Amino acid sequence: MTTTAPTRSLVIEREMPHPAGKIWRALTQGPLIEEWLMKNDFEPQVGHRFNFRSTPVPNWDGVINAEVLVVEPHSRLSYSWATMGSTSVVTWTLTPTDGGTHLRMEQTGFRSEQDAAYKGASWGWTKFIGNMEQLVGRLE
């Protein structure tokens, strides 16, 4: 959990001993995406609307509605990620390094499409989330 920037909600970074072009293929070719993420009808075209589908679990039907937002080959890919009434944006950034590629996934913001009250609340959230685990921890 990284909460330094106003709307940041989740960042995962990893150094991978593979060239950016290869990682890009894994991130943008449907059958490859399915192997590590989920079934999908992704196309690397800005504006393309698609779904990710995974096995339903309790409280989740396994469907994610998405739209491609950014496609910069070998460098940046971004799509919206809407499920369970909340929408966030997933952004992949690939940076070449000496030994391969630094891969960064950032999932930002969540706001209900029905309720504009979520907008602008993110800053408060990042502050709040910092205290929350302590609060809950104190209960036990």
- Give me the least distance between CB of 121 and another protein, in Å please: 4
Counting contacts by CB under 8 A, is residue 10 touching another protein?
yes
Pairwise CA distance, residues 129 & 1, whole Å: 9
Counting contacts by CB under 8 A, is residue 73 touching another protein?
no
Of 46 and 84, which has the nearer Cβ to another protein?
A: 84
Pairwise CA distance, residues 57 & 38, whole Å: 14
41-49, 70-78, 117-125 -> range binding another protein (CB under 8 A): 117-125
Counting contacts by CB under 8 A, is residue 12 touching another protein?
yes
Counting contacts by CB under 8 A, is residue 61 touching another protein?
no
Distances (CA, A) of 53 to 39, 60, 66: 5, 11, 11
Counting contacts by CB under 8 A, is residue 128 touching another protein?
yes
60 Cβ partners below 8 Å, 6+ apart? 83, 84
Counting contacts by CB under 8 A, is residue 55 touching another protein?
no
The candidate with the shortest Cα–Cα distance to 93, out of 44, 24, 41, is: 24
